[in-house]
Each structure stands twice: as C-alpha cells, then as structure tokens.
Structure 1
Amino acid sequence: MSFAGTQRYIATPELMAAVNAAIALQKPLLIKGEPGTGKTLLAEEVAAALGAPLITWHIKSTTKAQQGLYEYDAVSRLRDSQLGDARVHDIGHYIRRGKLWEAFASEQRAVLLIDEIDKADIEFPNDLLHELDAMAFDVYETGQTVRARHRPVILITSNNEKELPDAFLRRCFFHYIAFPDADTLRQIVDVHFPAIDQQLVGHALRAFFQLREVPGLKKKPTTSELVDWLRLLMADELAARQLTDAPAEKALPPLAGALIKNEQDVQLLERLMFLHRRQGR
C-alpha cells in the first residue's frame, strides 16, 4: 500500500514520503500546518488512493478518549429495566461503538482520521497510548477484548492550538505541511478550476501573497479561502475586472470578505492602503 497523491490533491514529494513512511512503520501520521492547508482532505485522498474505507473522528473540546472506544448507555438500560424490557439482560445492547472500534472491526484495512486532536483536553492523547500501541482494548462491562482485524492507517491532524505530550509524539511519524509556494498554488487552482483564466490567477495570486505578507495580520488567508475567492471572482466579472485593473497596494481586493475574516485585519489593511496612497501623491 502506497500513496502517490491523487488527481484532485496536490501532494509534495515530502508529504507522500511521510504518508508512506507512516504506513510502512505502522505508526500514526501526525500532520500539522496552518488551517486550510488540506490536512483533513489528505485523509480522504489517502483513503481513496488506497481503496480503503475512511472513518473520521472529529475532536471537540469536550471529547474524551473513551468515546473513541465505546460508550455504555446506563441511562437507557435503567429506563428499559423500569419498563420491563427483556433487552436489559443483554448488556451488549447498551454498548455503543466508537470510531476506534469501527476501525478495528472493519473487514478491510481502514483509514482512521483523528481530526484536530489539539482541541481536546491535554490528557486526551495520553489516554489513547495503550490502544494505539496494542491495537486492542477491553470492554469492561462485557469482559470482551476488541482487537483490530487489520491495523488501520491512522492520520492525526493538529492546528497547534496546544502542545501534545512527548510520550504521544514518540509514537507518531510527524510531518508539517508548509504553506504552498506560488507554483504549487497554481497547480492546486488548476485542479479546482481547469478552465480558469490564467491572467486572473496571476493577479489573484499576487494580491493573495501580498495580503499574507502584511506584518501584524491576525489571520492570514489560507489555501481554502483562496479557492473560495477565485470561485467568487469567476462568477462576478465586475469584481474580476476590478482585481486586474486596480493595483493591489492601493485598495482592498474585491470580495475581500472571502480572504479577510476579522475587523482588526480589515482596519489594519485600510490604514496601510491609506498610507500608501498618501505616499504615492
């Protein structure tokens, strides 16, 4: 099993090597990078390339590691016992499988995405160490041991909101997705919009990178926001013409709300544009 990118996902040689190294070592692949650089999409494309089912576990601030294994619904069992339901004698009826159990039970090797692990409590990664090492866990209510039929390919994404424990990091193969350069972004744009006007792409990329290079910007625009912005420009000829006609240094780009997502950055850019216009007089 190896990954070489797909028609709709532009993967660098370093990223492909990282995916294949993690598969060969049978270790989770920990992917970090700016939001919007394709970390979550990578798991979808790896699953598609390998012909494997994708199981996604989206992590929230309230997510506990136990939920990835299973949950015992004691409330439903108590209610059924009060109603005289015969199912109360089968405790397995009240065990709900988690995403890790789904991946372990898959009839073919699955791709498991643990998405945005850094959103959870700091102890969350440590609570999964044994299960990820042993590829097995116990269901205490039934005395059952669940073992992986096939070791899943595990991809874990992080936006670096908090540091991950060293013990967890030692068990992962790590790769940081650097922000794409202009040539790679052109390839990504061509994948999304094969018939796009290349002159429009040139002007858009110039304005896009100028925005990203503004010092003090609270949130830099990302790849996914560039794609959304180009989709809007293609649908709005007037906005596209404004982009190609107006120097990016003297005014905010048209439909900038697709790129700039908070008022502080808008105010910063407007001040910089004002100063640039004054200096240009």
Structure 2
Amino acid sequence: MALRGALGFLSRLPVGRSERAWDAFRTAPWTLPVAGYLLGGLAAVPVAFGAVTSVPAVTVGLAYLLAVVGLTGINHFDGVADLGDAAVVHGDAERRREVMGDTALGVGGTLALAAVVAGLALAGVGLAALPVAAAVGLVVAAEVAAKVAMATLVALGSAAHDGFGAAVAEETRSRGLVAPLALAAPAVALTLPSVAALAGLATALTVALALLWWARERLGGVTGDVVGGANELARVAALHAGLVAWRADFAVPAGLWESVGLGEVVAWTPW
C-alpha cells in the first residue's frame, strides 16, 4: 500500500490515489527509491530505443524529456519554479514562502525551470552516445538518486509551515534515511565498472544537502516545493555527473569489484 502511495505521488500512473495509500506512503520514505527503480526503468525506454537504432541524439533527448514529463507530471517542476522565485526575492523567510505560494511565475522561476528542462533534454542527448546498457543504467540510477534526495529532505528537515512538508517531514526521523540509502545502494552497480551511477548518487545527495541548508537559512524549514524541486534538480545533476564520470572513464579497479563479488556482473555487461 505504501509503495502504491509513493507511485501515486511521484507519477501519473493510475495507482495509489486513495487516502489510505497516501497515509501509508508519508510514513514510509523507503518507498521513494523503490519507486525510483520502476519509474527510471519506464523513463529509460525511449533512451534504450534510441541507443539501438539510428535515431538522432537530439531526438532521443527530446523523447527522454517528454517521457519524464509524461510519466511524472509537472507537480515537481512547479516546485523548481517556486524555488527559483524564492531564491531571487528580497525579504525574510516569511516573504519567500509567500512568493512560493504565489501562482504568478517570476523571472527567477522562469530561469530555474528553463535550466532544468534544458538540462534534462541535454542529458538525454548525452545518453544517446552511451552503450544501451550503460544509458539505461544511468537513467535508472539518476531516478533512484532523485528519490533519495527527496528522502534526505524529509528525513533530515523540519517543516517550515503546515502543508505537505509538515505532513511528511514531521512523520520521519533522521533514522528514516537509513532504509532509502540501503535500497538505493544497488543502483551503483548499474554502470559498473564505470562509477557513473555512483557519481550520480553522490551528486544527488550533495544537491539535497545544499537544498536542506538553503531551506533552513532562507525559508525556515522544508516545504513541499523544496522536496519536489529536489527531485528535479537532483535528477538533472545526477545525470550530468554520471555522463562526466563516464566520459572521463572513471572506473572501479577490477580487483576491487572482484573482491566484493561483482566480477561476474561486470563480465557480462556489454561495455
């Protein structure tokens, strides 16, 4: 039930829309990375298709962007826009929260939203140049990383006001982050021997911690927009960090992954 609630919150899939599913989800942050594996696999379909055909890279980038939006909706993109507006406004925490609740889109929000959309599409272009298994692995790992970023904020943050932040953050203690991190750890293996997935996960966590600090300093705590915005920002950051790591040919030393039992896994990967 909790996982259904997570999918209902994180995607447009026709599941988890009931109040019971929502109540189960908001006390179970472990469902976030689990949902990330499923959503990442679905979002990777156009990338995989593009990697095994002669579809131009720019078309793959557009298809990936459309797949993410079609699958997850625009709620979290709205969080990015509100964060952008709050980041550029002058005033105290109350004033920034007021701006975030305003339905009008300002310059800061427009720029933030444009940067995230462009970053996602350009990441899709970069993914088209990777071997199919590596491209799919990085897409899934980035989606899992984005969900871990959300879990980090709800586990370590305190709510700035009543609303989504209070409904989720106040129900989760810092120890609630252990399970999401443990469930996300296997995603590191999705691009081995390259550390692209590891770089993506580490970068997403860095984004989450930076947003957590900013929210505490500028908003007085975590809000629903911060959590939703973290999903989008962390996904883009994870994708580009992974692409950089792949291009730089950063890899786990063969002796290391053999010592932890991953030698057979890497042996059959087609890159």
Larger strand proportion of the pair: 1
Question: Which category of TM-score, normalised to the shorter sequence, fits these structures?
Answer: under 0.3
TM normalised by structure 1 equals 0.25
